[in-house]
Amino acid sequence: MRVDFYHLTRDPAEKLVPMLAGKVLDVGKRLLLLAQDEVGRVALGDALWSAEPASFLAHDFGGSERQAEQPILISDQCEPANGASYIILSDGQWRDEALNFERAFFLFTAEQIDHARTVWRQLSANEVVTPRYWKQDGGRWVEGP
């Protein structure tokens, strides 16, 4: 299993999530997008609507009547009610349930770096997990050491 650590140094999660979500959909996978607080979930939903004027990333929120049909489900629960095999933890809080997915994206800010380092060490010790670190370099993302 692969876990991609994204260190948000310049842009907020709302800027990165639409790019990652688009790539997930491009490879034919479903996505669970996790945020603990409602304000964060609404902001992510808005970002999926407006990130690319030419494309809308279809999504809904956990608990909706049509959640099982959604390619992207935004939730505060680590349960893939839409059958997702990929997960984005957008709020900087790691949940071990993410290890049940095929691939995880863990987004964190400078204020959450100590938690992210602890998670990195724990996951690096797990032989079935391949952690990767990504950082912003100008306007693009590059894999770091």
Domain CATH for 62:
3.40.50.10110
Domains of the chain: total: 1
The model's pLDDT over 7-40, given as tens digits with 9 standing for 90+, comes to 999 999 999 999 999 999 999 999 999 999 999 9
**What Å distances lie between residue 141 and 4, 6, 8, 84, 133, CA to CA?**
12, 9, 10, 24, 10
Domain that holds residue 33: 2-143
Rounded Cα distance between 37 and 44, Å, is 11
Q: At residue 10, what are phi and psi to the nearest 5 degrees?
A: -120, -50
Residue 139: predicted pLDDT: 80
Question: Has residue 52 got a pLDDT over 80?
Answer: no
What kind and span of H or E run contains 116?
A: helix 113-124
Question: Has residue 142 got a pLDDT over 90?
Answer: yes
What kind and span of H or E run contains 108?
A: strand 103-109
Report the mean per-residue pLDDT for the chain: 94
Residue 33: predicted pLDDT: 98
